[in-house]
Chains A and B, each alone.
Chain A
Amino acid sequence: MALVLWAISVITFVIFYLIPGGDPALRIAGRNSNEALRAQIREDYGFNDAKPVQYVRLMEKTFNGQLESYSDRTNVRERLLQGVPATASLILGAAAIWLFFGVLLGVISAVYAGRWPDRLLTIFAITGISLPEFWIGLLALYWLTYKVSWFPPGGYAPLTAGPVQWAYHLVLPWATLALLSIGFYSRLLRSNILDTIHDDFVRTAWAKGLSRRRVLGRHVLRNALIPIVTVFGLDVGASLGGAILVEKVFGLNGVGQYIADSVGSLDLPPILGTTLYGAFLIVAFSALVDIAYAFIDPRIRLQA
């Protein structure tokens, strides 16, 4: 794991320091700057040093929280920390929604396999995974906010301002971010359940005379959920990408919005910092998922 983390940091460095062509000083100072200023910037930022030196300095800065934006020289970590509540609310809320509805619709779909509820949910799911989330967000903003004003026109209300306002501001972003994953999870769970339902241990459970509820709930669903747990851990981390789009659309002012703004102004350090922290979070998350596995599936615990 330490090796993976190290490789991630090197790749990030390569992306931001080696791949981009052109003079970084020109980017910071602007196109109309003079050579003296650019030389000064190269000196200040240490672009003249050897690449390994720059790498070490970058890592020091990143983990001491001294990374600074090129455009306005604000501290990246501070800005990111300010954005965390909004982004965490968005992602965790959306994750809860998509897990709940994904499992619910997946079970319904599998139980009614081939009949009309399944067909309907299939159409819903495949449409759901074909929608660009930011576009759906824009449509929702247009119709539900500007046309009928059921929802606030974007923005984030912190939890400290009251949970009702907080949730009210987040309903549309949650739904937008969750939509794609609901379709995906319900399809995944449906096929998992249908794979499991013919297994021997399920037949045994029926033969023991257990109730339908118990067979489906305890025996089938529990096994069918295992692959869901794997992807869920990864997807929560990966939904940081979706959060960037959704936050930009709804103006949530979290980490995602910060990234979107930085892309707009071609400001590299905030993106660099977030990519690095985000990748570390995902690695940590997958470690947690492995642990969660052991709780759900005793077979894995026995192997270990």
Chain B
Amino acid sequence: MSSQPETDFSFDAAGLVAAESGADQRIEGLSPWRLAGRRLRRNRVALFFLVLFVLVVALCLAAPLYADWAGNTPDRNNLTGTLVRGGKKQFIVTPDGKPIGPGFSKKYLLGADQNGRDVAVRLLYGGRNSLFVGFASAVLTILGALVLGLCAGYFRGWIDRVISSVFDIVWSFPVLLFAIALGTALALGGLHLGFITIQGDSLWIPTIIIGTIFIPYLGRPVRGQVLSLREKEFVEAAVAQGMGPLRIMFSEILPNLTSTVLVFGTLTIANNILTEAALSFLGAGIQPPAPSWGNLISDGVARLTTAPHQAIVPGIAIVLTVLSLNVFGDGLRDALDPRAKVRLR
């Protein structure tokens, strides 16, 4: 969401340098990174949402501190307890099964769930899991896409044909359905691939699934960029200097992909958090009793009429996180590479 009207930022950048250094001064060159940093700093909206995101992450990381302060743990059930709120004694879960809603009290700030667990504490702990899966799977996607995209684009020929058709095939599965299929299959008995064994309820299962299925979405644009980059003069120069293909790929071509990866990475984390929430909502993502934002919503579905806060609160956390990443990612793209076309979904 740029506050700028639609202008071509590459011209804008040149204009900016000229304007700020004055007409009769010598025009100093600025590195693209400093130009991008300057553009980003002027984008207040993007910065605001970056701060918001950092805040969310910090809060989730501080979950144990909050749990200590509130005197509750994410897994402690409390079906018979009471709570003094506003001078009145209230059931945490009423005898007919209605959990207490949000209100101003140290414990149960955001209400309780059906087992009398503290929603605020679970929200923060769930955020840790959701954010972990979001981050780690994004790293996996980026690594996979870079390696495959670089190989396909650099070596071309049969390697490219193989990698591209693998991308095509993964692409032909409906993304979410594919993730659900993998999630269900793996949640049952875990993953056993050679010497790697991962338990079915491990956080790594959704991480690996989400990280893998989105590789083609970055891998294709990377391959395209590498195909054109490898024809550039600096690659020719590197070849003339006797550099091997690996060195050219990783130390000559890779740095040119940084802006694509940064922008895509930000948007991928957002997208992956949404995917994780959807998977967990269906029961094919993070396995209960481990909390996650999707799990919390799914817990709340059955009590939507009596205790709507259970489903609403975690959703707000998801929206805030994803929105802040999307806005910041948009600003980052405007700043780094106004003409980049990274598509994610």
Contact = CB atoms under 8 A, between A and B. Distances in A.
Interface of A: 3-4, 7-8, 11-12, 15-16, 19-22, 27, 113-115, 118, 122-123, 126-127, 129-135, 138-139, 141-142, 146, 184, 188, 191, 194, 231, 234-235, 237-242, 244-245, 248-249, 259-260, 262-264, 266, 268, 271-272, 274-275, 278-279, 282-283, 286
A135 B315 contact: yes
Contact of B326 (A15, A113, A126, A133): A126
B326 A129 contact: yes
B180 A263 contact: yes
Nearest to B298: A134
Interchain residue pairs A-B with the least CB separation, the first 6 = A114-B5, A241-B176, A22-B189, A21-B189, A135-B315, A130-B323
A132 B323 contact: no
11 contacts: A8-B172, A19-B186, A21-B192, A113-B6, A130-B274, A130-B326, A238-B175, A238-B345, A240-B174, A263-B284, A275-B181
Nearest to B178: A275
A140 to B, nearest CB: 11
Interface string B126-141: 0000000000000000
Contacts of B191: 19, 21
A275 B188 CA distance: 18
Contact of A22 (B174, B188, B330): B188
A282 B171 CA distance: 9
A113 B4 CA distance: 10
Interface string B271-308: 00010011001111000000000100100110011001
Contact of A15 (B168, B169, B182): B182
A121 to B, nearest CB: 11
Contact of B270 (A8, A115, A130, A283): A130
A272 B185 CA distance: 10
Contact of B169 (A8, A131, A264, A271): A8
A114 B188 contact: no
A275 B315 contact: no
Contacts of A271: 177, 180-181, 184
A268 to B, nearest CB: 7
A83 B282 CA distance: 18
Interface in B168-212: 168-169, 171-193, 197, 200
Interface in B1-34: 1, 4-6
B274 A132 contact: yes
A282 B172 CA distance: 6
Interface string B143-166: 000000000000000000000010
Contacts of A11: 169, 173
A228 B79 CA distance: 53
Given A142-B304, A194-B6, A282-B174, A134 B297 contact: yes
A159 B190 CA distance: 43
Contacts of A131: 319, 322
Given A3-B165, A132-B294, A248-B282, 9 more contacts: A8-B169, A8-B173, A11-B173, A19-B186, A19-B191, A22-B190, A126-B330, A129-B326, A238-B175
A77 to B, nearest CB: 17
Contacts of B5: 113-115, 118
B281 to A, nearest CB: 5
A130 B1 contact: no
Contacts of B319: 127, 130-132, 135
Contact of A135 (B4, B183, B318, B341): B318
A293 B345 CA distance: 22
B50 interface: no
Nearest to A7: B169
A237 B190 contact: no
Nearest to A238: B174
A46 B41 CA distance: 63
B249 interface: no
Given A126-B323, A130-B326, A242-B176, A4 B169 contact: yes
A135 B320 CA distance: 13
Contacts of A20: 185-186, 188-189
A275 B183 CA distance: 13
Given A266-B187, A279-B172, A142 B308 contact: yes
> Which of B174, B180, B274 neighbours the largest number of chain A CB atoms within 10 Å of its CB?
B174
B315 A245 contact: no
B327 interface: yes
A266 B186 CA distance: 10
Contacts of B282: 244-245, 248, 260, 263-264
